[in-house]
């Protein structure tokens, strides 16, 4: 193997498929070491950071989430995916576009900037995988998704329902899904919220699997309920890392006790291969509050496993090893 085929593939590799060896402790960082490129020709999934956290209601810091998630992804790029048993990039063409340039000093440009960024990805024939940023960034993403696909089902993992009152003007990471519903961006009848453990007076038509429900009924029941609810609708997956209990995700802005474990969340996501995904985001990673990268590692793994589901859709075959059930 020549030195030309090792290391720094984020800058040096031209083929969007496959991968070559990296030092996990060194080298140019991108998400899962994918090529940095804004040329999306032939790309299935475009990864990008959305480093905005001006809509938070408690602790700030999620603007540094994309950087932390990329750094935490290095080991996932080293071996075949667990429990899938394949290299997703042998099948799925993925590029890292870098970060969306959101100027926080001009709040009026936040929504149109993010929406245009996602619209560019969709127009190129790719699907977006976005790294937040606070959870408000999902609202302009949904605007772009609805313009491209029509209203989509929302599969929402979170500690909070994010459907508190919204006047259609606030930049607020706790109200944007009511806003999205009111604007007709969502197929609410096919949408589900998972891991919720904060109170709202109404579910606004969303089906809700609370965290206690998941704890009592288990992963398989959660998967069955999600698949039944979403059906064959085009579905957008948004994962607020505070869906996880603070024991597993301390590095977030609004931690709530009693959440899912990282094992539960990963098991659920890995069981959703039948769904018709059109995009995903992982949001609210605030590395200043993290401990030994455990929050960022969980976020990177969730995004990695989502890509594995898409690779399966393109023909990758699972080759599990050991007892999984």
What tens digit of pLDDT does each residue of 228-238 get? 999 999 999 99
Domain range list for the chain: 3-313
Cα(243)–Cα(156) distance, rounded to whole angstroms?
A: 9
**Whether the Cβ atoms of residue 35 and residue 10 lie closer than 8 Å to each other:** yes
Residue in 153, 188, 180 with CA at minimum distance from that of residue 272:
153
- DSSP type of residue 35: P
User: Is 253 a residue whose pLDDT tops 80?
Assistant: yes
Q: Stretch 189-197: mean pLDDT, rounded?
A: 98
What tens digit of pLDDT does each residue of 62-99 get? 999 999 999 999 999 999 999 999 999 999 999 999 99
Cα(102)–Cα(96) distance, rounded to whole angstroms?
A: 17
- Looking at residue 322, its pLDDT comes to 81
Share above pLDDT 70 across residues of the chain, in percent, rounded to a whole number: 99
Helix (H) or strand (E) holding 234: strand 234-240
- Looking at residue 1, its pLDDT comes to 45
User: Is 56 a residue whose pLDDT tops 50?
Assistant: yes
What are the angstrom distances between the C-alpha of 282 and each of 40, 237, 241?
Answer: 21, 9, 7
Q: Stretch 300-324: mean pLDDT, rounded?
A: 93
- Looking at residue 323, its pLDDT comes to 80
Cα(19)–Cα(41) distance, rounded to whole angstroms?
A: 18
User: Is 4 a residue whose pLDDT tops 90?
Assistant: no
Confidence band of 321 (pLDDT split at 50, 70, 90) = confident
At 246, give phi and psi (nearest 5°): -55, -20
CATH match of 3-313 with 3.40.50.720: no
Kindly report the number of other CB atoms within 10 A of residue 317's CB atom: 10
What tens digit of pLDDT does each residue of 123-179 get? 999 999 999 999 999 999 999 999 999 999 999 999 999 999 988 889 999 999 999
Kindly report the number of other CB atoms within 10 A of residue 40's CB atom: 20
- Looking at residue 320, its pLDDT comes to 80
Average pLDDT, the chain: 96
Greatest CA separation for the chain? 62
- Looking at residue 2, its pLDDT comes to 52
Predicted TM-score (pTM) above 0.85:
yes
Q: Is 145 exposed, middle or buried (0-12, 13-18, 19+ CB in 10 A)?
A: buried
Cα(208)–Cα(41) distance, rounded to whole angstroms?
A: 38
């Amino acid at each position: 193997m020549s030195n030309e085929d090792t290391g720094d593939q984020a800058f040096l590799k031209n083929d969007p498929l496959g991968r070559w060896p990296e030092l996990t402790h060194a080298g140019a960082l991108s998400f899962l070491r994918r090529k940095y490129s804004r040329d999306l020709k032939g790309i299935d999934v475009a990864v990008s950071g959305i480093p905005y956290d001006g809509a938070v209601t408690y602790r700030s810091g999620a603007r540094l989430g994309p950087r932390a998630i990329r750094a935490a992804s290095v080991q996932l790029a080293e071996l075949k995916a667990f429990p899938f048993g394949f290299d997703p990039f042998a099948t799925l063409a993925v590029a890292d576009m870098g970060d969306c340039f959101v100027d926080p000093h001009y709040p009026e440009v936040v929504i149109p900037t993010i929406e245009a960024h996602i619209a560019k990805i969709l127009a190129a024939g790719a699907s977006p995988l976005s790294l937040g940023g606070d959870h408000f960034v999902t609202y302009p993403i949904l605007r772009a998704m609805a313009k491209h696909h029509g209203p989509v089902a929302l599969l929402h993992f979170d500690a909070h329902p994010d459907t508190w009152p919204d006047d259609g003007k606030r930049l607020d990471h706790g109200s944007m899904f009511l806003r999205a519903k009111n604007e007709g961006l969502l197929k609410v009848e096919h949408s589900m919220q998972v891991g919720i453990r904060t109170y709202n007076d109404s579910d606004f038509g969303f089906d809700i699997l609370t965290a206690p429900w998941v704890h009592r009924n288990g992963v398989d029941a959660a998967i069955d309920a999600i698949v039944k609810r979403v059906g064959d609708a085009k579905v957008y997956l948004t994962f607020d890392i505070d869906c996880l209990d603070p024991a597993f995700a301390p590095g977030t802005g609004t931690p709530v006790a009693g959440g899912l474990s990282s094992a539960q969340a990963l098991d659920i996501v890995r069981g959703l291969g039948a769904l018709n995904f059109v995009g995903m985001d992982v949001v609210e990673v605030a590395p200043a509050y993290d401990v030994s990268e455990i929050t960022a590692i969980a976020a990177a793994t969730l995004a990695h496993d989502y890509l594995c589901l898409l690779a399966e859709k393109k023909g990758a075959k699972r080759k599990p090893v050991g007892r999984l059930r």
